Amino acid sequence: MTAVGAPAGPARWHGAGLGTQLWVLTARVLRAYLLDPRLLVANMLGPLLMLTMFSQMLGSLARAPGFPAGVRYVDFLVPALLITSAMQQAFGSAVGLTLEMRDGIVTRLRAMPLWPGSVLLARSLADLVRGGLQLLLILVLAALVFGFRPPGGPVGALAAGALALAVGCCLGWIFVALACWIRNAELVQSVAGLLTFPMIFASTAFVPAGGLPGWLRAVVRVNPATYGIEAARDLVLGVATPGGVAIALAVSAAVGTTAAAVAVRGFQRRP
């Protein structure tokens, strides 16, 4: 027994607070990204190639029946690329997470007094930073090279970019959940690729819903990415309504919250 008045033993350390955990873990992910120029180039080239290819290959759709009157195809396309590019950040992040699980980095993190969800949340925050840089580059180059002149003005374009980051961050948790349960980089890449294809192409990203077959229009309407794409497009075109933006955020948040809970549960499983 400890005598009355005896000095207390050393205080037990219970770990850093959640804010510090997120700061350190997010910086760790960003440092690896920013210090490797190959990753920077690879992440920036993908959306720019899509912008170049689709704007040139599908530009004639602007003259097709059913296409919004008076809207140029590049103004129709750029908001969709903002959403899809933000989603694809999480795709790569999920593959990176599985590699860290394989290499034992996650095992070492488990041994620390960390909230398990902070490892995943830090990756999501890093995706926001990386996605912000990528979306800004898309907007600048679309304006300089492809004549992107959004009717909604710079404010509409920046608002669409902010919405794209929020939607992409939420939907990206689907890929993180896959990584936490599958835990195999090659398999995660294959399954995530299979999911990404319909989320991008079974939407209104590249053509209006009116030009699609009836069965595909039904798929488009249950695709959560569609709501984000259409809300971002309305912001760029200057015809957005608070209701459309709110629905896009609500649908994305519902999907993201569910996927995040599944991801944390999967992450806490022992190998």
pLDDT digits (tens, 9 = 90+) for 133-173: 889 888 988 888 888 888 999 999 999 999 999 998 899 89
Per-residue model confidence as pLDDT tens digits over 203-221: 888 888 877 888 888 899 9
Contact present, 227 and 248 (Cβ < 8 Å): yes
Domain boundaries, given as residue ranges, for the chain: 37-267
Task: Kindly report the backbone phi and psi dihedral angles of residue 184, in degrees, each rounded to the nearest multiple of 5, phi listed first.
Answer: -140, 120
Mean pLDDT of the chain: 83
For the residues 38-50, what does the mean pLDDT come to? 76
Name the amino acid, one letter, at 231.
A
User: Looking at the predicted structure, is the pLDDT value of residue 58 above 90?
Assistant: no
pTM summary value: 0.84
Residue with tokens 């850093």: 16
Least confident of 6-10, 55-59, 96-100: 6-10
Task: Give the three-class secondary structure for 206.
Answer: coil
pLDDT exceeds 90 at position 69: no
- Name the phi and psi angles at 146, rounded to 5: -110, 5
What gap in Å lies between CA 93 and CA 196, rounded to an integer?
14
Number of helical H runs and strand E runs in the chain: 10, 0
Query: What is the crossing angle of helices 73-103 and 37-57, to 10°?
Result: 150
CA distance 48 to 43: 9
Residue 1 pLDDT level (bands cut at 50, 70, 90): very low
* pLDDT in the model for residue 235: 95
CA distance 108 to 116: 12
Residue identified by tokens 């309407």 is 221
Cα of 259 vs its chain's centroid, Å: 13
On whether the CB atoms of residues 173 and 90 are closer than 8 A, the answer is yes
